[in-house]
Amino acid sequence: MRLGCNDESRQEAAMSPFRRRRATAAVLACGAALACVAVFAACGTTGSAAPSTSATAAADNPTPTPVPSPLITSGRPPAGAVDTVREFWRLVGQSRLTEAQDFLTTPDSPIRLWDGKDIAAARFVRVAPETVGKAPVAGATVEFAVDVWIKPTSGASAWGPAGVHLLFENVARMSDGSWRMVESGTGP
C-alpha cells in the first residue's frame, strides 16, 4: 500500500485516462467552433451558421438564360408567353419600366435600352388572333401580335394619338421555365 492512497484515489487514477480523453474532446470541439466563427467572420457572414437569405436565393435562382426550344410557328402562343407580355405592358402602364425590363426581358434584349419616355400610359388589350409568326427573331421561341392601348407623352411622338397599336412580340423560353421578352415592335 502506498502512502496517501485510498480506495477513492485508486478509482480516480483508474478513471483519469477517460477524463483526459473527454477533456481533450471538449477542447477540440471548442477549437472547431472557434475556427468556424473565424471562417464565417472572414467570409462576411453574420454569427449564424446559415447563409444569408439573399445568398441562398441567388444560388438557387441563377439568372435564367434563353434555352434552345422548338420554335412555335403556328397555333396559339403559349399562355406563359402571353402572361409575360401582358405583365410587361401592365408595368409600363404603371410607369414601372425598369422593373419590367429587369424581370420580363432577356438579358440581351434591346428592350432594356428603351427609356420609355415616349409613353405616358399603356394597357394590354388582347392577343391578335391567328398572328403567330413563322420566323421569330434570333433567340426567340415564338412571335405573336398583340393589341396594346398606348397614350404617348405630350409633344411629338412616333406613336401618334392615343389608341390601340398592333405590336409584334418575340418571347423566349428561359432555362428556369419562365418566358421573357426578346423584342417588341410595330412590324414583324
Q: Say yes or no: 130 and 88 in one domain.
A: yes
More confident residue, 51 or 123: 123
The Cα angle at residue 11 between residues 10 and 15, in degrees rounded to 5: 115
More confident residue, 130 or 13: 130
* pLDDT, tens only, 118-151: 999 999 999 999 999 999 999 999 999 999 999 9
* pLDDT, tens only, 78-100: 999 999 999 999 999 999 999 99
Contact status, residue 119 vs residue 160, Cβ threshold 8 Å: no
CATH no. for residue 157? 3.10.450.50
Q: Say yes or no: 49 and 116 in one domain.
A: no
Q: Say yes or no: 31 and 93 in one domain.
A: no
* Domain range enclosing 90: 79-185
Q: Say yes or no: 40 and 95 in one domain.
A: no
Which residues does 119 contact at the CB level (< 8 Å), separation at least 6?
Answer: 92, 150, 151, 152, 153, 159
Please indicate, yes or no, if residue 118 is contained in any of the structural domains.
yes
Please indicate, yes or no, if residue 1 is contained in any of the structural domains.
no
* pLDDT, tens only, 146-175: 999 999 998 767 888 999 999 999 999 999
> What are the residue ranges of helices labelled H in the chain?
7-43, 53-60, 79-93, 97-104
Provide the grid cell at 121: 400610359
Please indicate, yes or no, if residue 149 is contained in any of the structural domains.
yes
Give how many domains the chain has, as a whole number: 2
φ, ψ dihedrals at 158, nearest 5°: -70, -15
Helix (H, G, I), strand (E, B) or coil at 142: strand
Q: Is the pLDDT of residue 106 over 80?
A: yes
**CA–CA separation, 165 vs 168, rounded Å?**
10
